[in-house]
Chain A
Amino acid sequence: MVSCTDLSLRYDEFFAIKNINISIKKNTTCAIIGKSGCGKTTLLHSIAGLKKLDSGIVRINNELLTGIRKSTGFILQNDSLFPWKTIYDNVALGLIVRNKNKCEIEELVIDILKELELLDHKDKYPNQLSGGQRQKVAIARSIAIKPDLLLMDEPTASLDEITKESFQKLLLNLLKQHPMTVVFVTHDIEEAVYLADSIIIMEDGKIKTTIDNSLGLEEKSRDNLEFYKMCLNVRASLGESL
């Protein structure tokens, strides 16, 4: 699904990412983890087609990525909802620009808002919702365009622990109902182990190691001792990167 070959990007003399090679299978989830400034977000933006690379190529579904794809969803760490649009209009925007007809848009948006328990808030503005609800709307907006690839940049970084956990559960259930390839950047080891099939550990713009995680996307995995062993394993792999 996602294949990156020899990706490099420099800011002046500093390599943000250097010779990155990754391959992510279709309908799997991949977490990218590492300390701040290690190139996680640059890599994610490169996969999104938002960065102009110095060298290397990104292929998605065997097609060369030349810019932003219409079927890639993107969720940012900070509030990326447009404050002047209601929740309904925020979610509908991606569909409007895809020239869907009004009835189709209404049906799709209402269905998604219902699924994410946001329907009661459809006429509200983002500043009338909590941080967790706003991130749910960001998800609704991304999946409304029915993406085959969802990219998330620290989607839970601004949430408190309780909201974070319920958000992760919601994401897990959503991925079961709408299978898609997911690549996300996180600082949270538990989140990576809970949500990802594979975990990429980055250091100084390079990939340090990749860990396959058989415990990913299991709702009850947190009740399992193996889960915490895997967390320790990731932590050990992060080593000095932590």
Chain B
Amino acid sequence: MIRKNIYDLFSGLIFVIFFWYLLHFIIDDRIIPNPLNTITNTINLLFTWGFLKHILYSSYRLITAVFLALTMGSLLGILIGLNIRLEKLLYPVIYILFPVPKAAFMPIIFVLFGLGDSSKIFLIYLILFFQIVVSVHNAVKNIPKEYYISAASLGLSKKELYKHIILPAIIPSILTSLRICVGIGIAVLFFAETYATKFGLGYYIMNSWSLINYLNMYSGILVLSGMGFCLFSVVDVLEKKYVKWK
């Protein structure tokens, strides 16, 4: 299984590099640099503190926002999924706010949280939060009623019901949300790091672009993608550990 995954990964990588080479030859050497040069440049950059600082800033912002959105979103999703009164009160609000483009609230977020890290983390958090609430709420609602009857007949207390039934039942949805969140989160992170900061991969990419240093720009993109890949792999590991039954 592991060997098959590594094989799939390797063949995917070969395909991407091949496609990259193709574009490099067809388009322009400066706009699409040689993949090998980009990889070498990235490896060299990874040994410089200046570049590592950008990675650390981006990781901190992304992981904090995802963690906060995941815990608070899951909690609210479970609460409104189980409590009909709370659901009647809050779900219409969440349903209305879910499709609203949260990035449009950026000026308000600036006013409330300033221009520093907090506003960037909050923007990512805000976009992910609704996604998680909606999918956890749906997961709770989709737990078959037979499970509750079985649990009740086995004498499970409310606490045991959460531990043995509700949480395990919604873990697959939480992990799917997490996977989607990582993708969206990175996109928002890039956007958030293009203003009022001198640190982060978003800033690094845009700064390299304005300096017409395409090689560094691509290295930034490569590392940002690598960051997404690492977080995806963490979700894979969690899935293998907690969703063995699927």
Binding site for B on A (CB under 8 A): 45, 48, 50, 68, 70, 72-74, 76, 78-85, 93-94, 97-98, 125-127, 141-142, 145, 151
Q: Does any Cβ of A come within 8 Å of B245's Cβ?
A: yes
Kindly list chain B residues whose C-beta atoms are within 8 Å of the C-beta of A78. 144, 146
Complexed CA–CA distance, A25 and B154 (Å): 23
Complexed CA–CA distance, A80 and B153 (Å): 11
Residue of A nearest to B244 (CB): A125
Check B155–A82 contact: CB distance below 8 A: no
Check A84–B150 contact: CB distance below 8 A: no
Check B150–A74 contact: CB distance below 8 A: yes
Residue among B160, B164, B168 with the most chain A CB within 10 A? B164
Kindly list chain A residues whose C-beta atoms are within 8 Å of the C-beta of B164. 82, 85, 93
Residue of B nearest to A74 (CB): B153
Check B160–A97 contact: CB distance below 8 A: yes
Number of interchain pairs (Cβ within 8 Å): 59
Q: Which of B146, B149, B156, B168 contacts A97 (CB 8 A)?
A: B156
Residue of B nearest to A147 (CB): B153
Can you list 11 contacts pairing A with B, beta carbon distance less than 8 Å?
A: A50-B152, A50-B153, A68-B152, A74-B150, A84-B245, A85-B168, A85-B245, A97-B155, A97-B160, A127-B245, A151-B153
Check B154–A145 contact: CB distance below 8 A: yes
Check B168–A80 contact: CB distance below 8 A: no
Residue of A nearest to B154 (CB): A94
Residue of A nearest to B164 (CB): A93
B151 nearest CB across to chain A (Å): 8
Check B146–A79 contact: CB distance below 8 A: yes
Check B149–A84 contact: CB distance below 8 A: no
Q: Does any Cβ of A come within 8 Å of B60's Cβ?
A: no
Q: Which of B146, B155, B165, B168 contacts A70 (CB 8 A)?
A: B155
B53 nearest CB across to chain A (Å): 42
Check A68–B150 contact: CB distance below 8 A: no
B172 nearest CB across to chain A (Å): 9
Residue among A45, A97, A98 with the most chain B CB within 10 A? A97
Kindly list chain B residues whose C-beta atoms are within 8 Å of the C-beta of A145. 154-155
A85 nearest CB across to chain B (Å): 8
Check A83–B245 contact: CB distance below 8 A: yes
Sample of 9 further A-B pairs with CB below 8 A, known A82-B165, A97-B156: A45-B149, A68-B155, A78-B146, A80-B150, A84-B171, A93-B154, A93-B164, A94-B154, A125-B244
Contact string against A for B residues 139-179, beta-carbon threshold 8 Å, 1 for contact and 0 otherwise: 00000101101101111110010001100110100000000
Q: Which of B144, B156, B169 contacts A84 (CB 8 A)?
A: B169
Check A80–B245 contact: CB distance below 8 A: no
Known contacts A97-B160, A125-B244, A82 near B152 by CB under 8 Å: no
Known contacts A82-B164, A125-B244, A125-B245, A94 near B149 by CB under 8 Å: no
Q: Which of B150, B171, B244 contacts A82 (CB 8 A)?
A: B150
Known contacts A68-B152, A84-B169, A97 near B245 by CB under 8 Å: no
Complexed CA–CA distance, A48 and B150 (Å): 11
Check B244–A97 contact: CB distance below 8 A: no
